[in-house]
Amino acid sequence: MRKKKILLQFLPIILSLLFLIPSSLFAASKFYDDDPLWTEASTQDASGAQAVDIDLIYDLAENMFTKPGDKTPNVPAQNINTIGEVPDSSWYTNRHGLTAADVAKGPNQTDGPVSGTWTVIAAKNDGVSPGFTVKDSAGNTWFIKPDPPGYPGMATGSEVTATKLFWALGFNVPEDHIAHMRLEDLVIEQGTMIKTPSGKKRHMKTGDIKTMLRRGQKDPDGSYRVHASLKLEGKILGGFRLYGTRPDDPNDVIPHEHRRELRGYSVFAAWLNHVDIKALQSMDTLVSEDGKSVVRHHLLDFSSALGSGSIYAHEYWEGYENLLEPGGSIAKDMITFGFKVEPWRTQPFYQSKAIGRFPKGNDKWDPELWRSRAPNAAFFRADDEDKFWAARKVMAISDEMIQAAVQAGEFNDPAGEEFLVKALSERRDAIGRRYLPAINPIVDPAMDSSGALTFTNAAVAAHVASAPDGYQAIWYRFDNAKGTSEKIGGTVNSSEKFEAPSGLPSEAGSYVRVEISATKAEQPGWQIPLNAYFARTSDGWKLVGLERSSK
């Protein structure tokens, strides 16, 4: 109490002294020595996270009839570093320099379920497709699902192919394999329960397995081809929503609708025609990292990707409309008495038992018109910069990588596999054509020790746009503490390389800002300058910031 009285006596003097200190000392610097950050660290222990069930019906209704999440319009992605990239995190991993062999392997660390007796420890009797949780003879736990009757290879092959490609794009996904089993390979662990259609639980019987396998494709030799997904590491916590945060995870502080990788997921899903996007197609797990518990976020269940609708071939409208939407085909049919012809009604499709149903003519496909079965908060908040980022990720997947992923699906349909590789390559290029030229596409700016500037035009490099007549670069001395700029000089050049202007600072700790834009470009957005920030170090110039505007 005595100390408190003394402080109160001197409080007016302390406050008056604070007003004499220059406000610039309190201003935060724009950049710091460790920029750009490439890791979004999970610094807090999340051991209090508990499993949560998300109701399917409520989740679908909420997303179809409302717009959940932040109501503020035009919020840019909040989890990017100072150069606009998504750091590695419990959500996402940047995978650079991949080969076709890397994609063929994907997340897999084993050769799949060990042959022999599989012990059924749980069963999925509800939902649209049957499934079992089994332990193989090595004690590994797998979730297995067969193909639907009449479609050998469709759901299982699509799931494996899409999993490999989503892994290559940077997401956490389960390890999965194509496997084969027979009814006689399965034994039921004592005490395993099953829920009946009436909702009651009872002990599982062999007859239950037989009943569920009637909803699966039986091969001529009596075996069943199945998709085998290895149990994820850690404690299962349930799926995550594409908006808001998880309240019991202290590291989950950025609303999911403002995460760039989840906004970019809209472009990735369009590419792979993955129409079934909802909370149940995700999974959080509690894992141990660096001596603490953290939540890891996964995407899973891609059996409704490519041409597969999981238990049937994709319906003709899927990928073109939401299940329910104002102005959709059902509403339009009511208003126009059926005389309005929707685009998908005249769209040609490739169809086969192994592939399902997939649109043809993908060289003319527009990803901006693609729709999932249900909308979600992250997808409709994706802006041009999010889609530009996603397009670069998709364009990094080569034809050879696509082929490796399709071959991993083992569709046993050479013509169908050839079509899929061609279709996905065409859709990849269509994504590049749509999103790379939409904004100033300058990427990878760099300055050598002399200050010479180089960069790449991502749209031109991807052969989805013509080169402009030239480029303009204007250098500024940048005050990192005050955020002010002082012009040094500028020039115009026909190439993507500029010599440094005279007057460029050379002392360590200096900053410069370079405005880079195109001259006489066909795309108006290319003339909106990109701001590249560089810091002078003992080794030369380091890129520390990028500001790109689509406005």
Q: What's residue 56's pLDDT?
A: 85
Q: pLDDT at residue 198 above 80? A: no
Q: pLDDT at residue 22 above 70? A: no
The tokens 């995460």 sit on which residue?
259
> Does some domain include residue 166?
no
> Does some domain include residue 1?
no
Return d(Cα 157, Cα 414) in angstroms, integer. 13
In terms of C-beta density within 10 A (0-12 exposed, 13-18 middle, 19 or more buried), how is residue 54 classed?
Answer: middle
State whether 426 and 476 are in the same domain: no
State whether 390 and 321 are in the same domain: yes
Give the type of residue at 489: G
State whether 420 and 448 are in the same domain: no
Instruction: Compute CA distances 32 → 35, 84, 136, 453, whole Å.
Output: 6, 15, 51, 22
Band (pLDDT 50/70/90 cuts) for residue 307 is very high
Average pLDDT, the chain: 91
Which residues fall within 8 angstroms of residue 507, CB to CB, at 6 or more apart? Answer: 536
Element (H, E) at 519: strand 511-519
- Identify the residue with better confidence: 22 or 217: 217
> Does some domain include residue 508?
yes
Q: What's residue 10's pLDDT?
A: 42
For 502-533, letters b (16+ CB in 10 Å) and e give eebeeeeebbbbbbbbbeebebebbebbbbbb
Q: pLDDT at residue 369 above 90? A: yes
Q: What's residue 235's pLDDT?
A: 97
202-206, 320-324, 547-551: least confidently modelled range: 547-551
Domain end (from 435, 456, 476)? 435
Q: pLDDT at residue 295 above 80? A: yes
> Does some domain include residue 486?
yes
Band (pLDDT 50/70/90 cuts) for residue 18 is very low
> Does some domain include residue 25?
no
State whether 523 and 427 are in the same domain: no
Residues 478/488, Cβ–Cβ less than 8 Å: no
State whether 180 and 269 are in the same domain: no
State whether 253 and 221 are in the same domain: no
Instruction: Please state the rounded mean pLDDT for residues 340-351.
Output: 88
Q: pLDDT at residue 354 above 70? A: yes
Band (pLDDT 50/70/90 cuts) for residue 196 is confident
Q: pLDDT at residue 5 above 60? A: no
* 80 closest CA partner among 264, 260, 267, 297: 260
- Find how far residue 494's CA is from the centre of its chain: 36
What DSSP assignment string belongs to 502-513?
Answer: TT---STT-EEE
Instruction: Please state the rounded mean pLDDT for residues 367-374.
Output: 95
In terms of C-beta density within 10 A (0-12 exposed, 13-18 middle, 19 or more buried), how is residue 317 classed?
Answer: buried
Instruction: Please state the rounded mean pLDDT for residues 486-498.
Output: 93
Domain end (from 235, 262, 278)? 235
The predicted-structure confidence for 375-409, as pLDDT tens digits, reads as follows 999 999 999 999 999 999 999 999 999 999 999 99
The tokens 């410069």 sit on which residue?
512
State whether 427 and 288 are in the same domain: yes
The predicted-structure confidence for 422-445, as pLDDT tens digits, reads as follows 999 999 999 999 999 999 999 999
State whether 179 and 137 are in the same domain: yes
**DSSP β-bridge partners for residue 39:** 88
In terms of C-beta density within 10 A (0-12 exposed, 13-18 middle, 19 or more buried), how is residue 346 classed?
Answer: exposed
Q: What's residue 38's pLDDT?
A: 97
Q: What's residue 549's pLDDT?
A: 75
Which residues fall within 8 angstroms of residue 508, CB to CB, at 6 or more apart? Answer: 536, 537, 538
Token pair in block for residue 458: 């991502």
State whether 419 and 286 are in the same domain: yes
Return the ∠ at Cα 285 (arms to 311 and 261), rounded to 5°. Answer: 75
Q: pLDDT at residue 332 above 60? A: no
Q: What's residue 477's pLDDT?
A: 97
State whether 148 and 290 are in the same domain: no
> Does some domain include residue 191?
yes
Q: What's residue 129's pLDDT?
A: 73
146: containing domain: 111-160+174-235
Give the total residue count for the chain: 551
* CATH (domain of 523): 2.60.40
**DSSP H helical segments within 214-252, as ranges?**
none
State whether 421 and 309 are in the same domain: yes
Q: What's residue 336's pLDDT?
A: 53
Domain end (from 435, 455, 483)? 435
Q: What is the CA radius of gyration of the chain?
A: 27
pTM, two decimal places:
0.92
Residues 204/190, Cβ–Cβ less than 8 Å: no
The tokens 């955020």 sit on which residue?
483
- Dihedral sign computed on CA atoms, order 15, 18, 20, 23: negative
Q: What's the total number of domains in the chain? A: 3
Q: pLDDT at residue 302 above 90? A: yes
Instruction: Please state the rounded mean pLDDT for residues 156-173.
Output: 98
The predicted-structure confidence for 248-280, as pLDDT tens digits, reads as follows 999 999 999 999 999 999 999 999 999 999 999
> Does some domain include residue 196?
yes
Instruction: Starting at the earlier edge strand, list the strands of the sheet with 292-299.
Output: 235-238, 282-289, 292-299
84-93, 112-121, 195-204, 418-427: least confidently modelled range: 195-204
> Does some domain include residue 44?
no
Report the share of the chain in percent with pLDDT over 70: 91
Token pair in block for residue 141: 């736990």
Q: What's residue 323's pLDDT?
A: 86
State whether 207 and 316 are in the same domain: no
The predicted-structure confidence for 37-70, as pLDDT tens digits, reads as follows 999 999 999 999 999 999 888 888 888 888 899 9
